[in-house]
A and B are shown apart, each in its own frame.
Chain A
Amino acid sequence: MAREIVVGCGGASSRFALERVSRDKLYGKRRRVIVDERGGECQPGTLLRDGSALLLPGSVAQLYVDAAFDVVERDQLSAVDDDGRFLDKVDSTLGVEQPVTGPVPPERVLDTITTAVYALEPTEVDPELAAALAAGDIFETRFSYRGGYEDAPAFLLQNEHGLFALIGEETAFPWLERAAPAADEEDDPFADDELDFSMF
């Protein structure tokens, strides 16, 4: 059975099949390719500074180790909060009815950054919810694709292209006051901006 976003409100349940939407799927992609003097495509490698090895892609493994440098397998990992308390795992929300709230104002979406977009295809939808979405209302629920240690806000909305779920991450910017501390001298929000040559 296909994985679905399932939301419920007032005893009525709605189910939506989902498909990830990305910039590359919409517009295509531009990428930078390095070639040698004969036009052969080159691949990135890692050269150890002592000259002992040239490592090609696939030559390294990334894993978690403890203080004694013993490997900790992924299924052995846990999560703790600032007080050292173990956190419970959150199951995937797909296929599991989540409460939906709303309509929420657009500012609620603007309080988050969108980390993923899914195009939705309703397989069973509460007529009241469908009508509200078609009228431009936005609804909020919770979402976790695979499960983990926290879920995320998800916003359901509809435009002329169809229904979408926007998965968000809270931003929580502070209010600025005249006496607010000066901007952080070390902060560069685009220092990690990936190189991107995709069409605009």
Chain B
Amino acid sequence: MSDLYFDTPVILLDMDGGSKEEVLRTMAQNLVNNGLVKQSFVEAVIQRENEYATGLPTGDIAVAIPHTDVEHVEQKAISVGILKNPVDFIVMGDDTETVPVKIVFMLAMDEAHSQLKLLQQLMQVFQDQSILNELISASDEKQIKRTMEEKLDALSLKGGEK
């Protein structure tokens, strides 16, 4: 198990992705470039999104949480992408609906069945439109990092948590 990586190189502002696939590819390739995931993660996360969609209709500001199997991950990480214009994702658990997503949280998890606390806190973020609004209004990556760190104590814990 590795420490969780969350820092400005994996926070992407003003993303100008025309399609869901483009957004996923850009974010995933950035994780590859930062040495956090294997090259195979890119196709795997796109394929997984097509198979099991992760769009979440959380309110006016909707999110998506693309992720894939643990074997493509080198170091556990969360990447945040703020989209300039909303991009349609298919709703999780409902193939017939799409949701215009404004924030993508790409999860690179290196161990199954773990990280409960981190994930629970992340869900708290999704469930709070005022925090999501803070994220999309942020002027730079550092501000997003700060906002997220305030909400997720797992991020500031050195050594990570099981």
A binds B: no
